[in-house]
């Protein structure tokens, strides 16, 4: 049995196939704003799957996705009531985003617990899995792209920049100065949040990063032990195993 796994986030929506053993080679992606019945038809016209598992943080697009598949095959929408295989130690579990639940499940199965997952997306999220294992909370901060893009949108003279490794801490052009501020400053944010979280945990956690800016930021944050681009999708696959009982 093959499952279609959908990670519907704010900027991009990623698609993958998985089975009981692994993620399969086929991948697809759509800009989240582009999701419609027509774009889904075009993307998936030659893709075979038996059931669908959707992890969504965009309610309007979640409804489009659900309705597209509803009469085609079994569909499950990931939330706190899904069979996760880990506990939830959180007073308001309905507030936990599907992506964060998938990351918690993924990190436990792929890297063990206790662990901290940092997901570098439109927002950056830090999610903690205790040694129990249980999802027990986290931190949400603006994403690197949102922070750097804000300057060009709100100032008259500062440009859009490419987020790459700065050539130095002292910028010799406006672009280089902004890259230094964005990348070095963001690494400082990540290190401080990790230090505060670690101070509150009884055991040293493994720190795993995923998401679009993970590799760039992790190069200067030695506390990040692993960059795992497939973490969220594999977390969805692990939940699909339980939903579809394989």
Residue 49 lies in a domain: no
CATH number at residue 125: 3.30.420.40
**Cβ-Cβ contacts under 8 Å for 129 (sequence gap 6 or more):** 86, 104, 107, 108, 113, 114, 115, 116, 117, 135, 136, 205
The pTM assigned to this predicted structure is: 0.93
Write out pLDDT tens, residues 44-73: 999 999 999 999 999 999 999 999 999 899
Structural domain contains residue 104 = no
Q: Does residue 182 lie in a domain region?
A: yes
User: Parallel, antiparallel, or unpaired: how do β-strands 123-130 and 134-142 relate?
Assistant: antiparallel
Q: Is residue 116, in this structure, part of any structural domain at all?
A: yes
CB neighbours of 229 closer than 8 A, spacing ≥ 6? 210, 214
Task: Tell me how far apart the alpha carbons of residues 231 and 107 are, in angstroms, rounded to a whole number.
Answer: 7
Percent of the chain whose predicted confidence (pLDDT) is above 70 = 99
Q: Residue 187 sits in which domain range?
A: 88-96+112-230
The pLDDT value given to residue 246: 67
Give yes or no for a contact between 233 and 25, defined as CB atoms under 8 angstroms apart: no
Q: Tally the domains of the chain.
A: 1
Distance CA 227, CA 40 (A): 29
Specify if 14 maps to a domain: no
| Structure token digits, residue 85 | 């295989």
In a domain, 27, yes or no: no
* Mean pLDDT for the chain overall: 94
Does the pLDDT value for residue 157 go beyond 70? no
pLDDT bin (cut points 50, 70, 90) of residue 163 is confident
144 in a structural domain? yes
Which are the catalytic amino acids?
99
């Amino acid at each position: 049995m093959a499952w279609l796994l959908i990670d519907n986030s704010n900027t991009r929506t990623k698609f993958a196939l998985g089975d009981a053993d692994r993620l399969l080679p086929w991948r697809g992606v759509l800009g989240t704003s582009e999701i419609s019945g027509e774009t889904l038809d075009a993307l998936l016209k030659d893709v075979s799957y038996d059931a669908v598992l959707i992890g969504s943080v965009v309610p309007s697009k979640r409804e489009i996705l659900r309705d597209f598949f509803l009469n085609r095959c079994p569909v499950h929408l990931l939330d706190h009531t899904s069979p996760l295989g880990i506990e939830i130690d959180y007073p308001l579990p309905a507030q936990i985003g599907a992506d964060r639940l998938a990351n918690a499940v993924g990190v436990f199965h792929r890297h063990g617990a206790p662990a901290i997952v940092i997901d570098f997306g439109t927002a950056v999220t830090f999610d903690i899995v205790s040694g129990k294992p249980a999802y027990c909370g986290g931190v949400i901060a603006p994403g690197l792209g949102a922070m750097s893009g804000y300057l060009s949108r709100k100032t008259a003279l500062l440009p859009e920049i490419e987020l790459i490794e700065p050539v130095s801490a002292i910028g010799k052009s406006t672009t280089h100065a902004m890259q230094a501020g964005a990348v070095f400053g963001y690494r400082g944010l990540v290190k401080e949040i990790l230090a505060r979280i670690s101070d509150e945990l009884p055991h040293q956690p493994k720190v795993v990063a995923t998401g679009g800016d993970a590799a760039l930021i992790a190069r200067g944050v030695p506390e990040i032990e692993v960059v795992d681009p497939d973490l969220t999708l594999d977390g969805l696959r692990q939940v699909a195993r339980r939903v579809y009982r394989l």
